[in-house]
């Protein structure tokens, strides 16, 4: 039987009928596949698009033979596993506010997304012309941001919340959506596996000054695997850790609109082997906050290469704030300007530095033009608390003579390396 291309009007009526309640809460999952007739009688599509919305309530597999397009918020429910095969492309539809598209793994749900270096799993915008079997399209760049939402994984590990509550609503999801809760008491909680994942062009606005991060990790436990992740051209942060205990390795963040790596609410895992490439509107490479309640937790960030932006005054090295607790070491940085710094932001974090709750290992920095002493890059902005030795751990180097930083060869698979000509 000969099939024909569905018109956009008919397709829209198929997708949205019955998908949402009046409060925009997803209640089901619906899939529709576009079958294209090539005019010669062959009706086998080379790359069908499967439209997905609502709750995923049973174990589901997405394969690389299809493109999966998210319509609004798609939620992996408690007790359910979403498997995404290597090479699969997931696209998010445009939309803001309650209509912003995102893939959300709720507490108790799992994602098993294990790409490979040659077949990464790609999350991108519906406007990206990438298709099956490809690793990049041709019509978008790292400066195309906010075209869909992002990937959000929520767990049951501890986080430090104001008022010492056990769980809270994640940033980027409206307060009346119960699937946005994160937090708990299980540091070993397992939300699944993310490996060889590329997340591009996200960060849709959901409210005034509130955008979705490229990858949001809310109270994700140490049973979860996060390895070989890149985030490109996101409006808000690249990867943000809200509490939790998960370790993350081999991360690359390129040209995001806010911070590349953001740590909050007593995150206490290890972030290892990171490359940050700042764009013209990027903010900090690292923004590090501490606990909001009485529960403490200490992060480790190590083996990182930070590539700055000398085109504008945007793009600081790092900001340690709000009682941050943890350790940063083996950081190599170059390409920044003389106005950029690494700072202790307030009295609380300066006190933690004095009390050895916030510590630093080796930093090697290629001095910006006009800077002659590497220690002047390290600034104490506390109002009343003085510190000594902040910056003593830093050494000035020439580019190419560094002895620390990221192992960039681990990230040679990334789109950022290919499109950005980083030379990994």
Which H, E and C letters describe 292-349, residue by residue? CCCCCCCEEEEEEEEECCCCCCCCCCEEECCCCCEEEEEEEEECCCCCCCEEECCHHH
pLDDT in tens, 255-280: 999 999 999 999 999 999 999 999 99
Q: In the predicted model, what is the mean pLDDT of residues 334-357? A: 97
| Average pLDDT, rounded, for the chain | 89
Q: How confident is the model at residue 97, as a pLDDT?
A: 83
The answer on pLDDT for 11 being more than 70 is no
For residue 2, tell me if it sits in a domain: no
Would 3 be classed as within a structural domain?
A: no
Please give the average per-residue pLDDT across 18-37, as a whole number. Answer: 41
The verdict on residue 394 lying in a domain is: yes
Question: Is the sign of the CA dihedral 364, 326, 278, 314 positive or negative?
Answer: negative
pLDDT of residue 99: 86
Q: What is the 3-state secondary structure (H, E, C) of the chain?
A: CCCCCCCHHHHHHHHHCCCECCCCCECCCCCCECCCCCCCCCCCCCCCEEEEEEEECCCEEECCCCEEEEEEEEEECCCCEEEECCCCEEEECCCCHHHCCEEEECCCCEEEEECCCCCCEEEEECCCCCCCCCCCCCCCCCCCCCCCCEEEEECCCCCCCHHHCCCEECCCCCCCCHHHEECCCCCCCCCEEEEEEEEECCCCEEECCEECCCEEEECCCCCCEEEEEEEECCCCCCEEEECCCCCEEEEEEECCCCCCEEEECCCCCEEEEEEEECCCCCCCCEEECCCCCCCCCCEEEEEEEEECCCCCCCCCCEEECCCCCEEEEEEEEECCCCCCCEEECCHHHHHHHHCCCEEECCEEECCCCCCCCHHHHEEECCCCCCCCCCCCCEEECCCCCCCCCCCHHHHCCCHHHHHHCCCC
| Bridge partners (DSSP) listed for residue 232 | 200, 254
Domain assignment present for residue 314? The answer is yes
Other Cβ atoms closer than 10 A to 320: 29
> What is the pLDDT confidence band of residue 21, given thresholds at 50, 70 and 90?
very low
Domain that holds residue 396: 8-420
Closest listed residue to residue 299, CA positions, set 348, 360, 238:
360
Looking at residue 266, what is its pLDDT? 98
Q: Token pair for residue 155?
A: 């767990």
On the question of pLDDT at 325 being above 90, the answer is yes
Q: What is the pLDDT of residues 164-181, one digit of tens each?
A: 999 999 987 878 888 999
Percent of the residues in the chain that have a pLDDT greater than 90, as a whole number:
81
The reported pLDDT for the residue numbered 6 is: 35
What end-to-end distance do the CA atoms of the chain give, in Å? 50
- Over 70: is that where the pLDDT of 205 sits? yes
Total structural domains in the chain? 1
Is there a domain that residue 175 lies in?
A: yes
pLDDT over threshold 50, residue 338 = yes
Q: How confident is the model at residue 139 (pLDDT cuts 50, 70, 90)?
A: very high
Q: What local confidence, expressed as pLDDT, does residue 313 receive?
A: 74
Is the distance from CB of 48 to CB of 37 less than 8 angstroms? no
pLDDT at 209: 62
**Calpha distance 276→225 (Å, rounded):** 21
Residues 349-387: pLDDT tens digits?
A: 999 999 999 999 999 999 999 999 999 999 999 999 999
Q: What is the pLDDT of residue 12?
A: 33
Residue of higher predicted confidence among 286 and 311? 286
Alpha-carbon distance 304 to 8, whole Å?
46
**C-alpha radius of gyration, the chain, whole number:** 22
> pLDDT confidence of 28, banded at 50, 70, 90?
very low
The answer, yes or no, to whether residue 35 has pLDDT greater than 60, is no
Decide if 183 is inside a domain.
yes
Total-model pTM = 0.91
pLDDT at 9: 30
Question: Is the pLDDT assigned to residue 40 strictly greater than 80?
Answer: no
Q: For the residues 21-38, what does the mean pLDDT come to?
A: 42
Span of 18-32, 88-102, 374-388 with lowest mean pLDDT = 18-32
Span 129-140, mean pLDDT?
97
149 is a domain residue? yes
**Predicted local distance difference test score (pLDDT) of residue 391:** 98
pLDDT at 197: 98
> If pLDDT is split at 50, 70 and 90, which confidence band does 294 have?
very high
- The answer to the question of residue 60 being in a domain is yes
Look at residue 234 and tell me whether its pLDDT is greater than 70: yes
Furthest CA-CA distance within the chain: 79
């Amino acid at each position: 039987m000969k099939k024909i291309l569905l018109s956009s009007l008919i397709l829209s009526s198929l997708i949205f009928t019955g998908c949402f309640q009046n409060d925009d809460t997803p209640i089901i999952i619906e899939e529709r596949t576009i079958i294209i007739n090539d005019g010669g009688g062959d009706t086998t599509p080379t790359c069908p698009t499967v439209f997905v919305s609502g709750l995923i309530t049973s174990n589901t597999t997405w394969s690389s033979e299809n493109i999966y397009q998210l319509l609004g918020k798609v939620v992996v429910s408690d007790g359910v596993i979403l498997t995404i095969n290597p090479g699969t492309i997931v696209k998010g539809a445009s939309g803001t506010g309650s209509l912003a598209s995102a893939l959300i793994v709720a507490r108790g749900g799992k994602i098993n997304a294990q790409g490979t270096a040659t077949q990464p799993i790609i999350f991108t915008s519906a406007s990206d012309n990438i298709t099956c079997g490809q690793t990049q399209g041709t019509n978008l760049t790292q400066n195309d941001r906010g075209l869909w939402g992002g990937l959000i994984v929520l767990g049951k590990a501890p986080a430090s919340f104001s008022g010492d509550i056990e769980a809270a609503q994640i940033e980027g999801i409206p307060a009346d959506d119960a699937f946005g809760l994160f937090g708990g008491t299980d540091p070993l909680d397992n939300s699944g596996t993310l490996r060889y994942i590329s997340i591009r062009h996200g960060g849709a606005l959901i409210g005034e000054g509130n955008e979705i991060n490229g990858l949001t990790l809310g109270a994700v436990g140490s049973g979860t695997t996060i390895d070989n992740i890149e985030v490109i051209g996101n409006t808000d942060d690249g990867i943000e850790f809200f509490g939790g205990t998960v370790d993350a390795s081999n991360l690359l963040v390129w040209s995001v609109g806010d911070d590349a790596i953001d740590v909050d609410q007593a995150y206490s895992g290890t972030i290892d082997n990171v490359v940050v490439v700042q764009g013209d509107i990027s903010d900090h490479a690292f923004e590090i906050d501490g606990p909001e309640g009485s529960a403490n937790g200490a992060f480790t960030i190590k083996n990182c290469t930070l590539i700055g932006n000398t085109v504008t005054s945007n793009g600081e090295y790092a900001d340690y704030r709000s009682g941050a607790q943890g350790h940063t070491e083996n950081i190599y940085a170059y390409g920044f300007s003389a106005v950029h710094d690494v700072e202790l932001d307030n009295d609380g974090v300066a006190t933690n530095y004095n009390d050895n709750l916030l510590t630093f290992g080796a930093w090697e920095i290629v001095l910006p033009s006009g800077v002659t002493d590497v220690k002047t890059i390290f600034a104490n902005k506390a109002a009343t608390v003085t510190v000594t030795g902040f910056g003593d751990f830093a050494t000035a180097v020439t580019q190419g003579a560094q002895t620390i930083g990221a192992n960039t060869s681990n990230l040679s698979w990334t789109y950022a390396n290919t499109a950005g000509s980083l030379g990994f």
